[in-house]
Amino acid sequence: MSTEPDRELERVPWAEWDRPRDRWLMAEHNCNTWPRSLLLEVCARIVFPTVLMVSVYLLFAGHHDAGGGFSGGLVAGLAFVLRYVAGGSAELAATVRIRPPVVIGSGLSIAVLTALVPALVGQPVLSSAIWKLSLPVLGELKFTTNLFLDIGVYLLIVGVVIDLLRTVGAGTELGGPGLDDETLEREEVERT
Amino acid sequence: MLTAIAAHFVLAAFLPLIARRWGRAAFVVGALAPAATLVFALSRASGALAERHPVETFAWAPNIGLEFTTRFDELALLMIVLVSGIGALVLCYYACYAKPGDRAVSRDSSLLVLFAGSMLGLVLADDVISLYIFWELTTVCSFLLVGGEGLTRKLRKSATQALLVTSLGGLAMLLGLLLLATAAGTTRISEIIANPPGGGVVTAAVLLILLGAFTKSAQVPFHPWLPGAMVAPTPVSAYLHAAAMVKAGVYLVARFAPGFSDLPAWWLPIVVLGLWTMVLGGFRALRQHDLKTLLAYGTISQLGFLMVLVGAGTWIAALADVTLVLAHGLFKSALFLTVGIIDKRTGTRDIRELSGLGARWPALTVFATLAVLSMAGFPPLLGFVGKEAAIEGLLHGEPKDLLLLAGVVLGSVFTVAYSLRFLVGAFGARPTVAPTEAPPSGTVMTTIVGIPAVAGLVLAFVPGLVEPLLAGYADAYSANPPDYHLGLWHGFKLPLLLSIAIIIAGYLLHRTALAPRLAGWVPGPLHAQRGYQASVDGLVALAQSVTGRLQAGSLPIYLGVILVTMVAVPGAGLLSGIETPVDLRAWDSLLQVPLAALVLVAAGTVVLARRRLTAVLLTGVVGYGIGALFIVDGGADLALAQFLVESLTLVVFVFVIRRFPPRFVDGRPYFPRARWVKAGLAAVAGTFVAVLAVLFSGSRQGMPEASRFYAENAESATGATNVVNAIIVDFRAFDTIGEIAVLAIAATGAASLILARARQRPSGGYVPEDAGSERTEVKQ
């Protein structure tokens, strides 16, 4: 993904700047995993942003209602699972533009940094603070620093789920990278 | 002094950058740190010789009483002269020795300076923990320096042996130091020695500490690592395996000796193994043809000698010991550096191939002769002064000292013989061998060899320069020291006669034809190297058999072991002290009844399922049913997490089982009887958990203390009205971080396991479209 020339920077005619760059659905030739279900694929694409929004809602709502970083992260992860189940690894590759270990690592880093920052200002590690703001339109806004810990958990869970999809999912697909040559040969024999 | 140690480490960190830019000059830059330390230490020498020694403390973990204390006394100053002085010389020498553009420069320069810093810390440390840390740092540096880049099997083997043997001793020493510190009630070494504790624990402690010292100083039977370590570049050998690291063991014994010299558990192993080492090392050296290995066995012999003198525990013996520590550092570094020149200029170190170098390199020959004669104890050199003092000290001690004297005389005869073998072998003319072709020895390198060699000569004439320092250390052994001074001439007395006799006997041993045939021969089964090999092989075999038995690779066995342990160990104890609950309600809400029935039916059907997919889906039903029960009980958070985890698990299960045969067994079961064992075990374990759950929830009275605390303080302390979330991100946030760390590690581990088996296929399924072009290029 990173090897691709950055198309954002290329000069495009002003009338075409918002023309879609990719096909909305995958073409036939790059989907060679399992029989496609058009309905499922389209539904997954339509529902995907909404599910991600719900996951973010759960992340923030966790402070007062059911939810939290763990549940939010799982919901977001399930959104990717849906895309993968609908379209296979090519669909997943079209969705995920960042390496899953980076997401895992940044989640863990945010959580650990949140734990350590209070030590810099002389507080015990992991202690939290509550800030309240009064905004003109929104009313009172409460903000607690342990939200960052929840964000770290959220990112980590999302990363773990996508990593699972990449390895256990795409990695064990028929003809995927997770198989040794012996198994593939045996399958070849069985199929013919 | 703390600054000096830190300066070494900081400089070591920057040396790779310097080496990349300026190449070999990095060694000269690296030499600045030890050289500056030497100058600084000598300028403060009056402090070390004073009644009260300067102490610096840096508390790095004050909460648990851990601090790093340096104490600058006579022994520390002596060791700094060796460590920093010879360190600076060796680094300058290495700058000429290394080939231009050698890749090893950045690595070796950095490691040598790091080593010099660790050694400096070791000799200055006054608390046992820091002592141990620096001790192990020197071990690690030695491993890395001996192994180099580990390109050959021999390098790896030698480096591993050095690491295994010395770190075995290091761990034993740590245990000993901790026992000693606990018995004494302080971690300060100076305080432990001032008031040495007693008792059985202390006996064990000193034995463990001695084990550390013996492995580090290559005493019998741990010595084979030292000749093996000679695969390192010669400057490294000169510094680590002649002057500095192997002295750490002697230093450790010398450091603790004033406190324990009367304890039989202390001096007996020292003198027995020391004498054995001295004689065996000298004897084995007579057989070597490789100049470096010859010197290595000589080093082993000398270290044994130094050990014996510390073990003797008298004032004069201690004085002789520190004199010889200084003398040995000077002459042995000069000799190793000489071998380095010979090796570099002629391409060989085998004495059978060298001939006529003496006439070709007169200056180097003179310096090497001075060093060799000092090693052999010829007047007028520092080695002779030290040996005179040693004989004097052993002559007037207790009866056991006379036995020691006999052993020392024998060892010294060997020393004279191998010294002559070295000198004649390296520089003598051999009639049968054509004179070796060689370019000039090089002014800078020869000068560097000359500095320690000439120092040994000068100090022999003016021992007064160092005597206050050496006697200052010896004073720790005796309140009223005898009237003895270091010097070349003490009158025509027994020590002088013995010295002359040793030299004559050694010369005869060297001249007689006996030497090449019999000398150095040890029956094969008695080789210490075999013992090392056998213990390492035994350890590997033990590890393999234990792992092979525990890790059978069968999931039913693992699960069976876990379940049996769970039922047998805590189950027996818990069931014995439990009361039958009084009020058992059938249900709290009517909704629980159908849900429970669903879960039970699903669980029962799983066992009967023939297809894997069916079983997985039914397990999912069990999970969702339990989630629904949570909702009925009002645990919304718990239920949400349960549903989500259940969905994800189901998906992952499906991913995995698509690689499996669709049915569990085709036709008949593999082991019909094992099925019943498994079924019985599962039933017992399941019943056990169910019964325990009922019993415990029945015997709980009201809300637990912790739950009440969380519920009451969630709003005020964390600002969260959701108590579950407050617990996760605040009250038990540390647990959360630990759990997500485990999750990250598990995910990474699983990913690497699966991807490690990856083979790129021409029509790979998971190939992002845009990365395809790159992939094909790689293949071509």
Within a domain: B255:
no
Q: Let me know whether B485 and B612 are in one domain.
A: no
Quick check: B206 and B261 in contact, CB under 8 A?
no
Q: What percent of chain B has pLDDT over 70?
A: 93
Looking at the 3D structure of chain B, how many domains does it have? 4
What the block records as the tokens of B355 is 């001939």
Residues B17 and B59 in one domain: yes
Split at pLDDT 50, 70, 90, the class of A174 is low
With tokens 């010389």, the residue in question is B89
Tell me if A63 sits within 8 A of B721, measured CB to CB. yes
Q: Are B720 and A61 in contact (CB under 8 A)?
A: no
CA distance B554 to chain A (A): 21
CA separation for the pair B3, B80 (Å, rounded):
14
pLDDT tens digit sequence for B282-313: 888 888 889 999 999 999 999 999 999 998 88
Task: Identify whether residues B723 and B704 lie together within a single domain.
Answer: yes
User: What residues does A134 pair with on adjacent strands?
Assistant: A140
Q: Which among A172-181, B379-388, B716-725 has the top mean pLDDT?
A: B379-388
Whether B52 contacts chain A with CB within 8 A? no
Q: Kindly state whether residue B166 falls inside one of the protein's structural domains.
A: no
Question: Is the pLDDT assigned to residue B383 strictly greater than 60?
Answer: yes
- Tokens 């296929």: give the residue: B761
Q: Do A146 and B768 touch (CB under 8 A)?
A: no
Pairwise CB contact (< 8 Å): A71 & B641: yes
Identify whether B392 is part of a domain.
Answer: yes
pLDDT-above-90 percentage for chain B = 43
Q: Which of A167, A173, A183 to mutate to test the interface with B (most CBs of B within 10 A)?
A: A167
Residue B63 has pLDDT above 60, yes or no: yes
Residue B338 has a pLDDT of 93
Lookup result for tokens 């989640």: A107
Alpha-carbon torsion angle B83, B89, B90, B94, nearest 10: 150
pLDDT value at residue B763: 46
Tell me what pLDDT residue B58 has. 86
Q: Is residue B189 part of a domain?
A: no
Contacts of residue B167, Cβ cutoff 8 Å, sequence gap at least 6: B136, B139
Residue B2 located in a structural domain: yes
Q: Is residue B225 part of a domain?
A: no
Three-state secondary-structure class, residue B356: coil
- Chain A nearest C-alpha distance from B751 (Å): 6
Mean pLDDT estimate for chain B: 86
Rounded to whole angstroms, the Cα distance separating B759 from B7 reads: 49
Mind listing the pLDDT tens digit for each residue in B537-580?
A: 999 999 999 998 888 888 888 899 899 998 888 877 776 766 66
> What is the pLDDT at residue A102?
92
Regarding whether B589 and B500 lie in a shared domain, the answer is: no
Give the distance, in angstroms, between the CA of residue B503 and the centroid of all CA atoms in the same chain: 40
Mean pLDDT over B370-399 rounds to 88
pLDDT at B254: 93
B537 has which bridge partners? Answer: none
Q: Which residues of chain A neighbour B641 with C-beta distances below 8 Å?
A: 70-71, 74
- Residue B136 covered by a domain: no
Give the residue among A148, A115, A77, A34 at the shortest CA–CA distance from B658.
A34
Cα–Cα separations (whole angstroms), residue B177 to B130, B172, B201, B215: 11, 9, 11, 16
Q: How confident is the model at residue A178 (pLDDT cuts 50, 70, 90)?
A: very low
Q: Is residue A187 pLDDT above 70, yes or no?
A: no
Within 8 A by CB and 6+ apart from B456, the residues are B327, B330, B331, B334, B370, B371, B374, B381, B382, B383
Q: Which of B79, B143, B114, B109 is nearest to B235 (CA)?
A: B109
Other Cβ atoms less than 10 A from the Cβ of B190: the count is 16
Whether residue B772 has pLDDT greater than 50: no
ipTM above 0.90, yes or no: no
Closest by Cβ to B719, choosing from A75, A144, A163: A144
Mean pLDDT of the region B83-102? 90
Question: Strands, E, within B24-73: which ranges?
Answer: 55-61, 66-71
pLDDT of residue A177: 44
- Range with lowest mean pLDDT among A170-184, B189-203, B702-716: A170-184
Co-location of B539 and B492 in the same domain: no
Which residue on chain B is closest to A151 by alpha carbon? B729
Strand pairing partners for B69?
Answer: B57
For residue A66, give the nearest of B636, B758, B770 by CB distance.
B636
Decide if pLDDT at B255 tops 80: yes
Contacts with A, B 584-643, CB within 8 Å: 636-637, 639-641
Q: Is B741 on the interface with A (CB under 8 A)?
A: yes
A30: pLDDT strictly greater than 80? no
Mean per-residue pLDDT, B195-207: 89
Looking at the structure, tell me whether residues B541 and B570 fall in a common domain: no
B592/chain A closest Cα distance in angstroms: 22
Using the Cβ of A188 and the Cβ atoms of chain B, whether some distance falls under 8 Å is answered with no
Does B80 lie in the same domain as B16?
A: yes
Answer yes or no: is pLDDT of B761 > 60.
no
pLDDT, residue A89, reads: 79
A109 close contact with B: CB closer than 8 A: no
Q: Give every CB contact of residue A65 below 8 A, 6+ residues apart in sequence.
A: B636, B722
Question: Could you read off the pLDDT of B626-656 as tens digits, one per residue?
Answer: 999 999 988 888 999 999 999 999 998 888 8
Q: Is the pLDDT of residue B442 over 70?
A: yes
Q: Quote the percentage of chain A above a pLDDT of 70.
A: 77
Q: What span, in angstroms and rounded, lies between the C-alpha atoms of B334 and B89? A: 10
Give the closest residue to B284 by CA, choosing from B328, B334, B223, B213: B223
Q: For residue B290, which amino acid is it?
A: D
Please tell me which of the candidates A62, A78, A108 has its beta carbon nearest to residue B744: A108
Please report, for chain A, the start and end positions of each structural domain, with discontinuous segments joined by +.
7-191
Contact B260, B206 (CB under 8 A): yes
Q: What is the mean pLDDT of chain A?
A: 79
**B458 and B513 co-located in one domain:** yes
Q: Phi/psi class of residue B57: alpha, beta or left (left: φ > 0; alpha: ψ in -120 to 50)?
A: beta
Please classify residue B65 by burial: count the beta carbons closer than 10 Å to its beta carbon, then call 0-12 exposed, 13-18 middle and 19+ buried: exposed
The whole-number pLDDT of residue B669 equals 57
State which of B126, B156, B182 marks the end of a domain: B126
**Structural domain boundaries, residue B527:** 521-546
Task: Let me know: does A156 contact A73? Beta carbons within 8 Å.
Answer: yes
Closest Cα partner for B178 from B195, B201, B199? B201
The answer on pLDDT for A7 being more than 90 is no
Mutation test of the interface with chain B: which of A98, A128, A187, choosing the one with the most B Cβ atoms within 10 A?
A128
Domain assignment of residue B254, yes or no: no
* Rg, chain A, Cα only: 21
Q: Is the pLDDT of residue B437 over 60?
A: yes
Whether residue B31 sits in one domain with residue B80: yes
Cβ atoms within 10 A of the Cβ of B691, count?
14
CB B224 within 8 A of CB B232: no
CB-CB neighbors (< 8 A) of B645 in chain A: 74
Task: With residue B516 as reference, give the H or E element that holds it.
Answer: helix B514-518
Residues of B in Cβ contact (< 8 Å) with A156? 740, 743-744
Query: With a threshold of 0.80, does the pTM exceed it?
Result: no
B87 and B39 in a common domain: yes
Chain B hits for A22, Cβ within 8 Å: none
Residue of B nearest to A84 (CA): B651
Mean pLDDT confidence for B175-193? 91
Name the residue among B414, B177, B139, B184 with its Cα closest to residue B302.
B414
Q: What is the pLDDT of residue B519?
A: 59
pLDDT tens by residue, B33-60: 999 999 999 998 888 888 788 888 888 7
pLDDT of residue B122: 93
Distance CA A41, CA B421 (A): 86
Q: pLDDT tier at B753 (50, 70, 90 boundaries)?
A: confident
Q: What are B589-628's pLDDT values in tens digits?
A: 889 999 999 999 999 899 888 888 999 999 999 999 999 9
Q: Say yes or no to pLDDT of A57 above 90.
A: yes
Is-cis flag, bond preceding B196, omega within 30?
Answer: no
**Cα–Cα nearest to B532, from B166, B145, B132:** B166
Q: Are residues B350 and B422 in the same domain?
A: yes
In the prediction, which pLDDT does B777 show? 34
Across the interface, do B758 and A89 touch by the CB < 8 Å criterion?
Answer: no
CA distances from B689 to B14, B40, B563, B570 (A): 60, 71, 10, 11
Q: CB under 8 Å to B177, separation ≥6 — which residues? A: B128, B129, B131, B132, B205, B209
Judge whether residue A22 has pLDDT over 60: yes
Report pLDDT digits (tens) over B320-346.
999 999 999 999 999 999 999 999 888
Question: Which of B659, B754, B765 is facing A167, going by the closest CB pair?
Answer: B754
Q: Are residues B494 and B607 in the same domain?
A: no
CA distance A93 to chain B (A): 6
Tokens linked to A86: 């609908």
Confidence of residue A183 (pLDDT cuts 50, 70, 90): low
